[in-house]
Amino acid sequence: MSGQIPLLVVSRLGVTFLTLLIVSFVVFGATLLLPGDVVEILLGQAATPEAVAGLREAMHLDSPALVRYGQWLFGLLQGDLGVSYANNMPVADMVAGRLANTLRLAAATTIIAVPIALLLGITTAMYRGSLYDRVITTIVVSIVSVPEFLIATLAVLVFAVWLRWLPALSFTTDLSSFGQLLKAFAMPVITLSFVIAAQMIRMTRAAMIDALNMSYVEMAILKGASKTRVVLRHALPNSIGPIANAIALSLSYLLGGVIIVETIFNYPGVAKLMVDSVATRDLPLIQSCAMIFCVGFLTLTTVADIIAIVSNPRLRT
């Protein structure tokens, strides 16, 4: 049975690579459907037809779409993200600093949201039906029902306008002290942590309740095991797979929610760079940012699948 694990892991990685290939085709095709002509936007309304034709030929935009897709994909496999149309510089250089900022934001959100979500999700499952469970569940459902842009707006009103504790916009330059660093990351992290933790609490609670309803847990309770021992020694180890999926799905939500949060708080991350590139129809930059989000999402879900396979023998068959 243990020999099946490497084979299943390899098959999951193969499915991930195939999915990524399909996604790359969809991303490239979707960017071609954006309204407006890239060349005309770059040259302006006063451009002559000869100048438009010359620039289109220089940028290889006169080639068939499939040929351009093949060239772009071949470059991606070699680590070449192309050259920005609007800035005439390598996309990799433009993305590198922004990606570091986005990863810092995601790491700070993960460090805060994951422990809180796991603690509340597990304890509400332990004391399900109690006043504590009902209060936490009501708060979580209320947060889940509110979109992240509204949470961000409320955070700005409370902490920046009314209390004047934090700046309304996030600046990551000229941070000379730890206090300035906290102020720069506080608003985006608070917004994302609320959204991520709420989703994770619900899924963790559901996974733990399913485990606590199993017959082996009832047998442990009948033998006199304490509630803490039942949860930590019996239910939690058998819920690692579902909880890993809950964490992966919640963290993958960062890839979508971070676009709105970075835009509202003017945070200089990859999502903000992608939004700005859409305005200039900078196709290589849009495609690269979209692929970064897709790779992140597929990586999280693949890792969660592998953890579920390793932790649950039933999934190996």
pLDDT grade for 134, boundaries at 50, 70 and 90: very high
The pLDDT assigned to 194 comes to 86
The pLDDT assigned to 174 comes to 59
**Mean pLDDT, range 136-140, rounded to an integer:** 92
Residue 83, in any domain of the structure: no
Residue 40, in any domain of the structure: no
The strand pairing partners of 90, in sequence order, are 83
pTM: 0.78
Q: What span, in angstroms and rounded, lies between the C-alpha atoms of 180 and 178?
A: 5
User: Which structural domain, as residue segments, surrounds residue 161?
Assistant: 91-312
Instruction: Specify the 3-state DSSP secondary structure of 177.
Output: coil
Q: What span, in angstroms and rounded, lies between the C-alpha atoms of 116 and 118?
A: 6
Q: What span, in angstroms and rounded, lies between the C-alpha atoms of 54 and 67?
A: 19
Residue 254, in any domain of the structure: yes
Q: What span, in angstroms and rounded, lies between the C-alpha atoms of 207 and 74?
A: 42
Q: Which of 41-45, 107-111, 215-219, 275-279 has the lowest mean pLDDT?
A: 41-45
| Secondary structure tally for the chain: helices H, strands E | 13, 0
Question: How many distinct structural domains can be found in the chain?
Answer: 1
Q: Under a CB-based contact definition with an 8 Å cutoff, are residues 266 and 272 in contact?
A: yes
Distance of CA 114 to the CA centre of its chain: 14
Highest mean pLDDT among 118-122, 216-220, 230-234, 250-254: 118-122
Residue 133, in any domain of the structure: yes
Residue 113, in any domain of the structure: yes
Residue 137, in any domain of the structure: yes
Longest dimension (CA), the chain: 86
Alpha-carbon distances, residue 250 vs 168, 191, 279 (angstroms): 26, 14, 29
**Mean pLDDT, range 171-186, rounded to an integer:** 68
Greater confidence (32 vs 317) lies with 32
Question: Residues 48-86: pLDDT tens digits?
Answer: 777 878 877 777 777 888 888 998 888 888 888 888 887
